[in-house]
A and B are shown apart, each in its own frame.
Chain A
Amino acid sequence: MVLLRRIGLGLAAPVLALVIAAVLSSLLLLSTGDDVSGFWETLFTAPKDRNVINILNYGSLLYMSGIAAAIGFRMNLFNIGVNGQYQIGFFAAAVVAGEAWLPGKANTLVAIFAAMLAGALWAGIAGVLRVYRGVSEVISTIMLNAIAGLLVGYLVKQWGISSGVTTGTKPVPKNSWIGGFALFDGVPTELYGLALLAPVLGIAYYVVLNRTRFGFDLRATGSSESAAVAAGVDVRRMVIVTMLLSGMVAGLIGMATLFGSTHNYGSSFQSSIGFAGIAVALLGRNHPIGIAFAALIFAFLQDRSGLLNITAGISPEIIAVTQGIIVLAVVIAYEIVRRYRVTLEQAAVARQVEEVRA
């Protein structure tokens, strides 16, 4: 009974949020005279094989982005700058891999290392500013996001090579590519080889957070900074290390696409994955499995958005609205459920006190 209620309360918030998002999205569609039933039909048709792979590919990127954000969130560090760290990391890896100082897969490894380093350093700026100058990481990472975009734009212009209309970094030599997996026969779209980084990172995230001293310190600092200090945790060090880790993971986000599909940094760079990661982490409650569900839901919606226009004549932007509503609704729903749970617990305690007295 108690267990059932715990599970029920745990699921209540996300389900409530999805329902609210569904209702509000439908109302929005109705208000503009769009085809509401077509919208739902498109959303609920089973994805084709090709789409399944697209969802998994995009979902794996969102998952890594969500993990990057969640690392900070667990310590109450709002790393809004996942997007900038991802962009800097992607660019650094693209430059290193394009230069190809080492042959074959050694080149790939070095490039991935460069991405982690660049992402970590970019996030580290915010960590250092926070620890030594008391600058809120929210503001500094927002600023660093903007700076990253402009800086990378400048560097691409300086070092990039122009191919007709677009400018990008040098292409990665073919022997450094990471091949994909053909999940279905006769479907040319493949699952990125480096999409496997996502589950690896998820497991690492779980183990480090729940099975190591560092993870304990991190969660303790997130729950109560003063208690953590009393327990001998060096909070300043924790802030910097956590930011570095978060940025490192953010740097890894783009590796699957860099070595699996785009093979350079150029106009095909997907620029909003870092922001979506924040939403995914919130939706998944910073839990490795929760984030996986959230990432898949977001990736699924993203994939369907392309179809909406074709099947029902609805502009794909509606999906961004739905995603935003889900995030906002889910955090509100969690708060309502939390308050309800507190009331329940208070009632239970009051009852027990009465019983003892009687």
Chain B
Amino acid sequence: MSVAVTPGTTSASPLPPEEAKRSPLELVAWGVGVFLLVSLVRVLTDANDVISAGTLQASVVAAIPIALAGLGGIWSERAGVVNIGLEGMMVLGALGAGYFGYEYGIAAGVIGGVALGAAGAAVHSLATVVFGVDHIVSGVAINIMAPGLAAYLAKALFTDLPGGGPTQSPPFGNPPTITIDAIADPAKDLQDKHWFVLSDLASIVAALTRELSVLTLIALALIVATAWILWKTGFGLRLRSVGESPSAAESLGVNVYRFKTIGVLASGMLAGLGGAYLACVSAQGYQNGMVNGLGYIGLAAMIFGNWRPGLMLAGATLFGYTRTLQLRGGSDSLHALLLVIAVLLIVYAVLLLRGGRRTQAIVTVLLGAGFLLWFITTDSVPPEFTGMAPYVTTLFVLAFLSQSLRPPKADGQIYRKGSAG
């Protein structure tokens, strides 16, 4: 079992470069388009919670851990190591944050989460980089081990603490937040007028100026920093070269093992930070089972984002948003969202048709029609279906957009020093 498994796609033909690269302008255009559409749907269906400051704020909190896991995935897979263990590393991070956060304060909690995530990653890099174990196997083992370890340690550490229990840490304070009343209050007033577009813009402003956690800002900064480090520095070029063609990199004097290890460790630290975010911002302390598949959703966001930070964040935001709507019990909002999806799919189908991809266009139109029918014939969406959204979206993206996805070429392959020949 030492043959590489390439996640994402294994299409034989080299991918057309013009598709792999989308201009930022096009992305912005899509973003604005979606925003206008959602705003229109909100006005038409009266589902005001679709874009309320409350929803958006909760979406940010839901999206950041997913984005951090996805970012971790990018670091690891760009260096050619598949990291299914993100889930387990997040669990460790959450536990670390719970323990150190309670004992030594919030900053120590965040650092502790990062450190425990890194510890999980150290195991993964020992297995995959040093011993050449299959990446999936190692990841699966970590995902078996980490929740057990966390549950075991939680019982040992938290049971006797005041306010704690065998499955959860005592609650402790949240990291500082930023609120700018001068902007947030008028924005809130404007939002409550429920005007087309204007109120929606106000909701976004209000969401970003009220109780914005410092940790959220740090996470966003890390995403920007990753984009810069991996794509604009020599270090990043070397790290990515290790994920594309380790033998070529080694022949140019790059220490393949070192860069793979750095990639995996960074990945674990980010996943650990994601876990810490869960314990410090999303909730009041550690709880068994709080990660509950978010690491896998992070992996999904990474694939959705084509192994790039910007699009990955878009994916994480989308998944966080749907989860939020589900948690807020907004069956109206979810129902309204069906119309948005239907229109988006039909617009996309037209674009596909213009691009000459007829089969895909037909499938997309049929899907769009299906969503439209769903919208018309029902009044609400069962929560399980929104829960499925990230997973189903990923399957569809993989199935229908695989031509425009481009994972690192040597992703998942085992490399032994000196095999460059």
Which residues of A are at the interface with B, using a C-beta cutoff of 8 A?
A: 28, 32-34, 73, 76, 78, 80, 129-130, 133-136, 138-140, 142-144, 146-147, 150-151, 153-154, 157, 222, 225, 275-276, 278-279, 282, 315, 317-321, 323-325, 327-328, 331-332, 335-336
Do B399 and A315 touch across chains, with their CB atoms under 8 A apart? Answer: no
Chain A nearest Cβ from B74, distance in angstroms: 15
Q: In the assembly, what is the distance between CA of A281 and CA of B354, in Å?
A: 49
Do A140 and B140 touch across chains, with their CB atoms under 8 A apart? Answer: no
Chain A nearest Cβ from B115, distance in angstroms: 16
A73, A78, A138: which has the most chain B beta carbons within 10 Å? Answer: A138
Q: In the assembly, what is the distance between CA of A145 and CA of B148, in Å?
A: 20
Which listed residue (B9, B131, B299) contacts A135, Cβ 8 A?
A: B9
Residue of B nearest to A133 (CB): B399
Chain A nearest Cβ from B146, distance in angstroms: 8
Which listed residue (A130, A144, A275) contacts B144, Cβ 8 A?
A: A275
Do A328 and B151 touch across chains, with their CB atoms under 8 A apart? Answer: no
Contacts of B146 in A (CB 8 A): 324
Chain A nearest Cβ from B150, distance in angstroms: 8
Do A315 and B394 touch across chains, with their CB atoms under 8 A apart? Answer: no
Which listed residue (A129, A154, A321) contacts B398, Cβ 8 A?
A: A129
Which listed residue (A136, A225, A327, A331) contacts B6, Cβ 8 A?
A: A136
Do A143 and B394 touch across chains, with their CB atoms under 8 A apart? Answer: yes
Which listed residue (B134, B144, B296) contacts A279, Cβ 8 A?
A: B144
Contacts of A135 in B (CB 8 A): 8-9, 395, 398-399, 402
Chain B 377-406 interface residues, beta-carbon cutoff 8 Å to A: 382, 384-385, 387-388, 391-392, 394-395, 398-400, 402
Chain B nearest Cβ from A93, distance in angstroms: 21
Asked if B147 CB lies within 8 Å of chain A CBs, one says yes
Do B398 and A325 touch across chains, with their CB atoms under 8 A apart? Answer: no
Contacts of A157 in B (CB 8 A): 382, 384
Do B144 and A327 touch across chains, with their CB atoms under 8 A apart? Answer: yes
Asked if B84 CB lies within 8 Å of chain A CBs, one says yes
Q: In the assembly, what is the distance between CA of A336 and CA of B127, in Å?
A: 11
Which listed residue (A80, A139, A325) contacts B145, Cβ 8 A?
A: A325
Chain B nearest Cβ from A288, distance in angstroms: 17
**11 CB-based A-B contacts, threshold 8 Å:** A32-B152, A129-B395, A138-B7, A139-B394, A150-B388, A157-B382, A323-B148, A324-B144, A325-B145, A328-B123, A332-B126
Residue of A nearest to B147 (CB): A320
Contacts of A323 in B (CB 8 A): 144-145, 148
Do B1 and A73 touch across chains, with their CB atoms under 8 A apart? Answer: yes
Contacts of B395 in A (CB 8 A): 129, 135, 140, 143-144
Q: In the assembly, what is the distance between CA of A153 and CA of B383, in Å?
A: 10
Q: In the assembly, what is the distance between CA of A185 and CA of B192, in Å?
A: 74
Contacts of A279 in B (CB 8 A): 140-141, 144
* Given contacts A32-B156, A76-B3, A80-B136, A327 and B148 within 8 Å (CB-CB): no
Residue of A nearest to B8 (CB): A136
Do B5 and A136 touch across chains, with their CB atoms under 8 A apart? Answer: yes
Q: In the assembly, what is the distance between CA of A222 and CA of B5, in Å?
A: 12
Q: In the assembly, what is the distance between CA of A150 and CA of B303, in Å?
A: 21
Which listed residue (B134, B152, B384, B387) contacts A331, Cβ 8 A?
A: B134
Do B149 and A321 touch across chains, with their CB atoms under 8 A apart? Answer: yes
* Given contacts A146-B391, A335-B132, A328 and B9 within 8 Å (CB-CB): no
Q: In the assembly, what is the distance between CA of A148 and CA of B144, in Å?
A: 20
Asked if B138 CB lies within 8 Å of chain A CBs, one says yes
Which listed residue (B3, B148, B293, B398) contacts A324, Cβ 8 A?
A: B148
